[in-house]
């Protein structure tokens, strides 16, 4: 029971981070119908930037977080301007995807160059005491609670942004019907640009929250991208709620299977579940019925 609760707590807190990564992927996919293959690098660079601000420069944590999120917003816009907008104007989806993969390698290379050689794992200091807390019989790392709480805040802010702000409405409208969005006078290329920015900002927030729990290394982006993408697909790729649920499910499944079956299962368990779900429900858990398959 103690092991189960420990695994569950770990699964929920990593799941929250997968959910945040998946949110960015889904928001960008909904608007542009393109999976941002450089999304993991937004996460990775967000983490390294926060590390630079917080550890190397000694700035306060919250300030570092905000700066990293803003910088990632800018990086998202860069992805749009380099890999999406110029190529989409020629209606070439394959070129867009290749450009994004290429850009992700470039960004990874830049990170290696700036923050150390290959294989360097950079520790990020914990925010709170590393001592575990006991809840009844359940042992929880306090950092996990911080991560979970902060992830919940990010998700709520994100949801409110779409519900309450005009910019959020414009993004929703463009995802809903791009032709109509143009007709009402929205400049949809700008909407796409800001969508890339917002998605990347959320990824950076996830990275800064996660850094104290794991370590930072230039390849972390790809690992997180794959997990976030899996969570997004599990949730149906077009559903915000689906991305969040998918993230938590992947986090919990991989912890439980690592704990009860074998640690090597941690990396594969989630994908086995996804394959099963995709065979049984091709549109994912929250996907639109009748939507074309991905």
Partner 1 sequence: MLEVNGLNVWYGVTEVLRDVSFRVPENKIVALLGGNGSGKTTILNSLSGMVAPRAGTIMFDGTDVAGWAPDRMVKRGIVQVPQGREVFAAMTVRENLELGAATRRDMAAIRTDIEELYELFPRLRERRGQRAGALSGGEQQQVAIGRALMARPKLLLMDEPSVGLAPLVVDMVIDTIKTLHARGLTILIVEQNVGVAAAVAEDAYVLKDGEIAYSGAAPALINDPEVLSSYLGR
Binding positions for partner 1, rule: CB under 8 A: 169-170, 172-173, 176-177, 179-187
Considering the complex, what minimum distance in angstroms separates the CB of residue 103 from partner 1? 28
Q: Which is nearer to partner 1, 58 or 185 (CB)?
A: 185
Size of the chain, expressed as the number of residues it contains: 294
Considering the complex, what minimum distance in angstroms separates the CB of residue 153 from partner 1? 26
Considering the complex, what minimum distance in angstroms separates the CB of residue 171 from partner 1? 11
Q: Which is nearer to partner 1, 179 or 293 (CB)?
A: 179
Q: Which is nearer to partner 1, 112 or 182 (CB)?
A: 182
Which of 201, 239, 206, 209 has its CA nearest to residue 224?
206
Dist. CA 143–CA 124, nearest whole Å: 12
Cβ neighbours of residue 87 closer than 8 Å, sequence gap 6 or more = 95, 96, 99
DSSP bridge pairs for 138: 135
Dist. CA 279–CA 269, nearest whole Å: 16
Q: Which is nearer to partner 1, 177 or 264 (CB)?
A: 177
State the greatest distance between any 2 C-alpha atoms of the chain, in Å, as a whole number.
60
Q: Which is nearer to partner 1, 112 or 169 (CB)?
A: 169
- From residue 247, alpha-carbon distances to 7, 87, 151 in Å are 15, 31, 12
Q: Which is nearer to partner 1, 180 or 275 (CB)?
A: 180
Give the chain's end-to-end CA distance (angstroms, integer): 39
Which of 236, 47, 50, 252 has its CA nearest to residue 148?
252
Considering the complex, what minimum distance in angstroms separates the CB of residue 254 from partner 1? 32
Considering the complex, what minimum distance in angstroms separates the CB of residue 96 from partner 1? 21
Dist. CA 231–CA 278, nearest whole Å: 12
Q: At what angle do helices 142-164 and 240-260 cross, to 10 degrees?
A: 160
Q: What is the DSSP string of 216-265?
A: B-TTHHHHHHHHHHHHHHHTTSS-HHHHHHHHHHHHHHHHHHHHHT-TTH
Q: Which is nearer to partner 1, 221 or 235 (CB)?
A: 235
Considering the complex, what minimum distance in angstroms separates the CB of residue 64 from partner 1? 35
Q: Which is nearer to partner 1, 186 or 285 (CB)?
A: 186
Considering the complex, what minimum distance in angstroms separates the CB of residue 84 from partner 1? 19
Which of 199, 221, 200 has its CA nearest to residue 210?
221
Considering the complex, what minimum distance in angstroms separates the CB of residue 166 from partner 1? 8
């Amino acid at each position: 029971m103690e092991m189960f609760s420990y695994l569950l707590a770990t699964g929920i807190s990593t799941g929250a981070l997968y959910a945040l990564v998946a949110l960015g992927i889904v928001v960008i996919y909904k608007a542009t119908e393109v999976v941002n293959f450089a999304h993991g690098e937004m996460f990775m660079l967000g983490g390294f930037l926060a590390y630079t601000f917080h550890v190397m420069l000694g700035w306060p944590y919250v300030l570092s977080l905000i700066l990293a999120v803003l910088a990632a917003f800018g990086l998202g816009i860069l992805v749009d301007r380099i890999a999406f907008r110029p190529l989409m104007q020629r209606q070439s989806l394959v070129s867009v995807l290749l450009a994004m993969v290429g850009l992700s390698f470039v960004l990874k290379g830049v990170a290696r160059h700036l923050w150390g050689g290959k294989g360097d794992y950079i520790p990020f200091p914990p925010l709170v005491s590393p001592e575990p807390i006991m809840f009844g019989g359940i042992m929880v790392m306090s950092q996990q609670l911080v991560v979970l709480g902060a992830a919940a805040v990010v998700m709520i802010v994100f949801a409110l942004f779409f519900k309450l702000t005009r910019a959020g409405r414009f993004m929703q409208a463009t995802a809903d019907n791009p032709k109509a969005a143009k007709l009402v006078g929205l400049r949809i290329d700008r909407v796409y640009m800001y969508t890339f920015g917002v998605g990347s900002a959320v990824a950076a927030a996830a990275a800064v929250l996660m850094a104290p729990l794991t370590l930072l290394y230039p390849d972390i982006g790809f690992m997180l991208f794959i997990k976030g993408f899996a969570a997004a697909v599990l949730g149906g790729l077009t559903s915000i709620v689906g991305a969040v649920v998918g993230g938590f499910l992947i986090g919990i499944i991989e912890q439980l299977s690592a704990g009860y079956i074998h640690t090597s299962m941690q990396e594969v368990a989630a994908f086995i579940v996804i394959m099963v779900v995709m065979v049984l429900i091709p549109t994912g858990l929250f996907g639109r019925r009748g939507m074309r398959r991905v």
